[in-house]
C-alpha cells in the first residue's frame, strides 16, 4: 500500500517519535491489530506512566499512516466486526522504530554515564 505522493523519509529524519507513536509501533511488531486492541496493548504496558485517551491513540495512528510507518490491513478474525480497522507496521515503520530504540538506548547510556541510572546487570 505504498503511497506515491511522497518518497520515504530517512528513518532518523522522523526522530524523535512521540512516546505514543513509539508505543503503537511496538504494539504492532507482533502483528496486525485493530485500534482498540492497540489501545489495550499500550495501556497494559504503560499502566499509569503515560495516560491515554482514545482520541490521542487514533490521532497518533493517523499520523503514523500519513508518515507510512503503518498501513491499514484486512484483519484476521473472520467473526470480527466489519467496522473495525486493522493496522500493521510497514517495513519503513520497523526501520524507524529500530532507529528510535537506538536513540533511546543512547540516551539511557548517557544517563548511566552520568550516574542517573545504575549500570546494566546483564
Question: Can you give the CATH number for the domain in which 28 is found?
Answer: 1.10.10.10
pLDDT digits (tens, 9 = 90+) for 28-83: 999 999 999 999 999 888 877 777 888 989 999 999 999 999 999 986 654 667 77
User: What's the whole-model pTM score?
Assistant: 0.83
Q: Is residue 118 part of a domain?
A: no
3 in any annotated domain: no
Q: What is the pLDDT of residue 46?
A: 83
Residue 5 lies in a domain: no
Cα separation, 103 vs 41, in Å, equals 23
- Residue 119 pLDDT: 81
Q: Tell me whether the omega of the peptide bond preceding residue 47 falls within 30 degrees of 0, making it cis.
A: no
User: Cα separation of 14 and 8, whole Å?
Assistant: 10
What is the span of the domain harbouring residue 32?
Answer: 13-113
**Does residue 120 belong to any structural domain of this protein?**
no
Cβ–Cβ contacts within 10 Å for residue 32, how many?
Answer: 18
Residue 122, domain member (yes or no): no
Number of domains in the chain: 1
Domain annotation covers residue 1: no
In a domain, 2, yes or no: no
pLDDT digits (tens, 9 = 90+) for 4-28: 455 567 878 889 999 999 999 999 9
In this prediction, residue 80 carries a pLDDT of 65
**What pLDDT is recorded for position 74?**
80
**Does residue 35 sit within a domain?**
yes
Give the tens place of pLDDT for each residue, 96-110: 999 999 999 999 999
Which of these, 60, 26, 62, lies nearest to 44 by C-alpha position? 26
Amino acid at each position: 500500500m505504498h503511497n506515491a505522493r511522497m518518497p520515504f523519509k530517512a528513518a532518523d529524519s522522523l526522530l524523535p517519535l512521540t512516546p505514543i507513536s513509539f508505543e503503537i509501533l511496538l504494539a504492532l511488531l507482533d502483528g496486525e491489530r485493530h485500534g482498540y486492541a492497540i489501545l489495550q496493548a499500550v495501556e497494559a504496558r504503560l499502566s499509569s506512566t503515560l495516560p491515554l485517551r482514545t482520541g490521542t491513540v487514533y490521532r497518533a495512528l493517523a499520523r503514523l499512516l500519513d508518515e507510512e510507518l503503518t498501513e491499514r490491513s484486512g484483519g484476521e478474525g473472520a467473526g470480527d466486526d466489519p467496522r473495525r480497522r486493522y493496522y500493521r507496521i510497514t517495513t519503513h515503520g520497523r526501520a524507524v522504530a529500530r532507529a528510535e530504540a537506538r536513540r533511546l538506548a543512547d540516551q539511557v547510556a548517557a544517563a548511566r554515564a552520568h550516574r542517573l541510572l545504575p549500570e546494566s546487570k546483564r
